[in-house]
Chains A and B, each alone.
Chain A
Amino acid sequence: MNYFIKKLLSGILLVIGVSVVTFYILRLGPGNPAAAAFDPNSTRHDVSQVNHLYGLDKPLLAQFGEWMKNIFRGHWGYSYASHRKVAEIIRETLPNTLILTASVLFVQVVFGTWLGLVQVSKTNSLFDKSINWLTLALYGLPVFWLALVFILIFSHKLGWLPSSQIVSFYYKDLSWLGRIMDRLRHLALPLLSMSLVSIAVMARYVKASLKEIMQQDFIVAARARGLSERRILYKHALRNVLIPVATLTGQYFPALVGSSVVIELVYSWPGMGRLIVLSTFARDYPVIIACTFVMSVFVVMGNLFADFLVACIDPRIRLEA
């Protein structure tokens, strides 16, 4: 239990640290929200009035203290750009980001593990070598480039899948099955763009871990006892490879959240990643800080969940914990 309490405390410290850094970095940048909101002909008086209204004329420390106090009270402030409640905007965009990242995580774990497993069971075969080259090539590809290529092929050339938004404009007229299909069709390209690289990372990691496990004494002992290669791989090796898989998933989660920013922008996916980028252009401080805060909370929670999963899988860690 101490293990998880320590992890939770370090997670809370991380969230506070991220918030502090984001808060100060935003203020270090050129320009301010008031200037961004007005046209170039507005007077200095107009700008200072708006600055006063938003509390931006106060010292930085006082601004941060006030923001922190309000966050814990549940007052997340108003967007400078849309004048809507920040909490409301987050409530709208967060589920979309979660749908995307959770789908990518699921696909990454299932297909990445499966690919690595099949590669090891067919070591040195044509399949193994082909997948090796393919994953190596995917490993080095930038996600945004893949996203643009997929839009070009599947959306513009073939016309199979939509290239933007989360649902079609005629979504409300569809039956429940049609609605599900419509959501899946919109999810397909962002998911494919993000998960291909993730699958490659996972497959290579699983293969390397499995190859190491297959050399261990308990596997040699299992072979000597006459267990089939299939049973050795699935019953003995796979059980043990799930530990590094869970660890990698936890470590990879922040990278996934990071790449979701790019993908959401390319596919106009109304999630938090896109919101952060648009808010940054608009100098919408309350939204940017709130988004960063929520994302860092999710990264910490993801890591905690991965630790919990490892503890569930590995009895050695479970008992120590």
Chain B
Amino acid sequence: MKKRKEVVRFTNVTKIFLPKSLAILRAKPITALDRVTLSLYENQVYALVGSSGSGKSTLCRLLLGLIGPDGGGIEVFGQSLAEVLKQNERWYRKQCQAIFQDPTASLSPRMKVRELLEEPLMLTEEKLELREKEEIIVAFLQRVGLPENFLDRYPHQLSGGEAQRVCIARALIRLPKLLICDEPTSKLDSTREQEIVDLILELKNSIGLTVLFITHKISLVRQMADAIGILSKGKLITVAMKDLESSLSSDHAFSNLSGQAVAC
């Protein structure tokens, strides 16, 4: 059996936040991630589950290079993330894209869909003609199931599902290899949620994406995940798909997660 290529590797990654009021209130530093080790393989959907404040978004920000770790190492595509960001940030930003939980808030309110989709194309090395840009934008808009007339709409004129589709189109327009989805369906109703999940799975299969899918919902994990990580108080426990049900019923890490956070 052919061994799959490792896309992301976290080795004993620790992230500590110091409260700003440390001196006054003598507050203790918060360990958001505690020696987290995980691997994401090519064309895999890795579901990361955990209650609020468990460190999911911190892990996501670390992988995006928006913050740095306080301990351990992160490797992406076989190279140290810190080195990649230092030497070839442009390349990494092309390979790794993200979609966030509030689609409307993650779109600039004063930009039309056309501008929002055009902007990532300006970051590409190759100079594109205006007509070429337009063709690419329309193609990606249609790829996420939105008609061409949406190009002249502002974010507030889109529903939550439509806005999330625009976010996905914007993330995919530069043809990334790694997609980070930080609770992308948490603000959507169940119908729209299913549409977005189907779309991500379809794109994963058609363009060979590696997906880090952060969620609260076990139903989505069952539907999408090839591998599962459970984050609880900054510690990560990797669970195999076949062990998910037993983990759910046992006193394992899931039991530490609040009932409302892990909805089935």
Which A residues form the contact surface with B (CB < 8 A)? Answer: 216-218, 220-227, 236, 239-240, 313-316, 319
Contact = CB atoms under 8 A, between A and B. Distances in A.
Contacts of A319: 154, 156-157
Contacts of A314: 109-110
Contact of B93 (A216, A226, A313): A226
26 contacts: A217-B102, A218-B105, A218-B106, A220-B66, A220-B100, A220-B106, A221-B98, A221-B106, A221-B107, A222-B108, A225-B93, A225-B97, A225-B98, A225-B120, A225-B123, A225-B171, A226-B93, A226-B123, A236-B108, A239-B108, A239-B111, A240-B110, A313-B110, A315-B154, A316-B156, A319-B154
A316 B108 contact: no
Contacts of A220: 66, 100, 106
A217 B106 CA distance: 5
Size category, B interface: 20 to 34
Interface string B81-103: 00000000110111001101010
B119 interface: yes
A244 to B, nearest CB: 13
Contacts of A216: 105
A312 to B, nearest CB: 11
Contacts of A225: 93, 97-98, 119-120, 123, 170-171
Nearest to B101: A217
B241 interface: no
Given A218-B105, A226-B93, A240-B108, A315 B123 contact: no
A315 B153 CA distance: 10
Most buried by B among A218, A222, A240: A218
Contacts of B92: 226
A40 B110 CA distance: 67
Nearest to B120: A225
A316 B107 CA distance: 14
Interface in B53-102: 64, 66, 89-90, 92-94, 97-98, 100, 102
